[in-house]
Amino acid sequence: MLGRAPTAWERRAELGAWTGLWRTWKEVLFAPEAFWKTLRPDGPAQDALFFGWLVAIAGAVIQAPLLALQIAGHWEEFRELFSTLSSHPADWRGDLDRLFSSGSSLVMVLILVAGLVAYPLSAVVTAAINHLFCLLFGAGKYGFWATFRVVAYASAPLVFSAIPVVGSLAGMWGLVLTAWGLARIQETTVGRAAAAVFALQVALCCCVCGGLGFGLSAVLASFT
């Protein structure tokens, strides 16, 4: 573990919270090799979680108004979807109508809160699944919390998740960063780390095919 040191975010007491957050975010996104090479596998998991959570909050703040407008614009389709689900009482529909009405601030708040609450859970779940595959591919040298730290720091591109097209690219960059980070922190090959990150997607190839299919159709639809 020679040459490994706390991240700028983990030195926020000395650098200041904003500088620490900004420098770490920049390093993860634009200098990942240097960042992952110096990331300590035994560093504090809560600091990594806090970083990822703040990034998720920033993403949610950007995403909330865009998503609210999108939902309001597609409300007729949502109404159809709800009518095919289990029978909702008639008065629920009125509430749903009000909830998703154009520019509803309640929707924005709900999306924001859901994003905030969901982040730590989704980080633990993602890290658990990734680490299971890390163990399978022999890439789990430093244990679960090292994987967790990579997953949390690799959330940096989440800030862009709300922006059309850029959001999808950012999501893919997040996966690449996770594989890259796992290779460096668990001191394994990039192939093994990439296999651990992408194994589930490849195994459940329908999801990939489906995702690609839906993505392609969305791109085609935007052109037509």
Partner 1 sequence: MQLTWPAPNRKIGIIDALALTGLIGLLVARFIPVARLPFWGCALRRTTGWPCPGCGLTRVADRMSHFNVAGAWDANPLGTIAAALFMAAIVVSALHLLFKVPLPEVHLTRREKVWIRVGIVCAVVINWMWVAAKAKFPEYVGG
Site residues for partner 1 per CB under 8 A: 81, 84-86, 121, 124-125, 127-129, 131-132, 135-136, 138, 143-144, 148, 203-207, 209-210, 213-214
Cβ proximity to partner 1: between 96 and 132 the closer is 132
Cβ proximity to partner 1: between 63 and 147 the closer is 147
Q: How far is the CB of 46 from partner 1 (least distance, A)?
A: 11
What backbone phi and psi angles, to 5 degrees, belong to 86?
-55, 155
Cβ proximity to partner 1: between 99 and 129 the closer is 129
Q: For 44-50, which contacts have Cβ atoms below 8 Å and span 24 or more sequence positions?
A: 44/10, 45/145, 45/148, 45/149, 45/152, 47/7, 47/9, 47/10, 48/148, 48/149, 48/152, 48/153, 49/120, 49/123, 49/148, 49/152, 50/9
Cβ proximity to partner 1: between 24 and 186 the closer is 186
Cβ proximity to partner 1: between 24 and 188 the closer is 188
Q: How far is the CB of 99 from partner 1 (least distance, A)?
A: 18
What is the number of other CB atoms lying within 10 angstroms of the CB of residue 169?
12
Question: And the tokens for 205?
Answer: 């190839």
Task: Say whether 41 sits in a helix, a strand or coil.
Answer: coil
Q: How far is the CB of 203 from partner 1 (least distance, A)?
A: 6
Cβ contacts of residue 52 below 8 Å, gap of 6+? 119, 123, 151, 152, 153, 155, 158
Q: How far is the CB of 34 from partner 1 (least distance, A)?
A: 28
Q: How far is the CB of 108 from partner 1 (least distance, A)?
A: 23
What is the number of other CB atoms lying within 10 angstroms of the CB of residue 54?
18
Q: How far is the CB of 196 from partner 1 (least distance, A)?
A: 12
Cβ proximity to partner 1: between 29 and 123 the closer is 123
